[in-house]
Structure 1
Amino acid sequence: MIEVEVKARINSFEEMEKRLKDLGAVKTKDEFQEDIYFQSPIVDFAKTDEALRIRTTNNDTFITYKGPKLNEKAKTRKEVEMSIESASKASDIFTEIGFAPARTVRKSRQYYQYENFEISLDDVEGLPPYMEIEIALSDSDDYTEAQNRIFELFEKLGITDGFERTSYMELLENLNNE
C-alpha cells in the first residue's frame, strides 16, 4: 500500500473541528496512540528516510514499516502494517536482534472521514496542534493526483501554509536539538 499523507500545523482544534463539520466531514473516533520507533542496527533510518514502529492504540497493536518518501511534495511512501498481540514481546524481539528504541511519541487523535480522505487532528505531547490528511492507494496507483487533491482539501479548510513533511518523531527530535 502507498500512503499519501500531508500534515500542517493548525491554530486550534476547535476552529478546525468547526471547519470540518461545515465541510461535511464526519467524526469517526477518538484514539490515544503510543508509537515506539526503532533504529536499525544495519541502516540509519534517519538517512534512508524509513521508519519502523510499534503502535499501541486504545484497542489494537501494530508493527508498521514505512519506506523512504517517494517525492519532495508530500509524505508519500510505501507502508506495510500488521496487527500483533503484544507490544512488549515485539519490542523484546526487535531489541534481541539489534534494533534499538529511538523515541516514543504519544498523541491523542480525532479521526474524520471526508470522501476518501482520512483526516486527523493530532494533539502530540510536546508539539503544537497538527492536522493530517491522507489517502491510501494501491502500489500501482498514481499518487500525484492524490497529493493534489489533499492540498486542495487543505485549501478548502483555509490552510495554505504550515505544511510539514517530517514525522512527529523528527519534529520532536528537532525540538530537542535546538
Structure 2
Amino acid sequence: MIEVEVKAKIDSFKEIEEKLEKLGAEKSKHEFQEDIYFNSPVVDFAKTDEALRIRTTKQNDETNIFITYKGPKIDQKSKTRKEIEMGIEDSQKCAGIFEEIGFNKVRAVRKNRQYYKYENFEISLDDVEGLTPYMEIEVELNDGEDYSEAQNSIFELFEELGITDGFERTSYLELLENIYK
C-alpha cells in the first residue's frame, strides 16, 4: 500500500473542527495512540528515512496493536511512502523480539487523535504530547498507482480549509527528537 500523507501545523482544533463540519466531514473515531519506534542494527533509519514502530491504540474499552514499517519518502512535497502493517497480540513480546535481534528503542510518541472521513480522505487532528496541534490528511493507494493526483487533491483540501502554510514533512518522532536533543 502507498500512503499519501500531508501534515500541517494548525492554530486551533476548534477552528478546524468547525470548518470540517461545514465541509461535511464526519467524525469517525477518537483514540489514544502510543507508538514505540525502533532503529535498525544494520542501517540508521533516521538517515534512510524509514520507520519501524509498534502502535497501540485505545478507543473506549478496545485496544489494538500493530507493527508498522514505513519506507523512505518518495517525493519532496509530502510524506508519500510505502507502508506495511500487521496486527499483533502483545506489544511487549514484540518489542522483546526486536531488541533481542538488535533493534534499539528510540522513543515513544503519544497522541490523542480525532479522525474524520471526507470523500476518500482520512483526516486526523493530532494532539501530540510535547508538540503544538497538527492536522494530517491522507489517502491510501495500491502499490503502483500514481500518487500525484491524490497529493494534489490533499493540498486542495488543505486550501479549502484555509491552510496554506505550516506544512511539515518530518514525522512526529523527528519533531520530538529535534526538541529533546
TM-score relative to the length of structure 2? 0.97
Aligned-pair distance for 1:149?
A: 0.3
The alpha carbon displacement at 1:90 in A equals 0.4
1:1-178 matched pairs, under 5 angstroms: 1-58=1-58, 59-177=63-181
Report the secondary structure of 2:30's partner residue. strand
| CA–CA separation in structure 2 for the residues paired with 1:86 and 1:111 | 25
Structure 2 unaligned segments of length 5 or more: list them.
Answer: none
Runs (5+) with no aligned partner, structure 1: none
Indicate the percent of aligned positions where both proteins have the same amino acid.
72
Report Cα offsets for 1:17-55 as digits up to 9, x if no partner: 000000000000000000000010001000000000000
Rounded Cα–Cα distance in structure 1 between residues aligned with 2:16 and 2:179: 25
Residue 55 of structure 1 aligns with an amino acid whose one-letter code is R
Q: CA RMSD in A?
A: 0.4
Q: What displacement does 1:140 show?
A: 1.4
When normalised by structure 1's length, the TM-score is 0.99
1:176 CA drift (Å): 1.5
CA distance in 1, matches of 2:100, 2:180: 28
For 1:33, the aligned partner's letter is Q
- Report the residue type matching 1:31 in the other structure: E
Aligned residues: 177
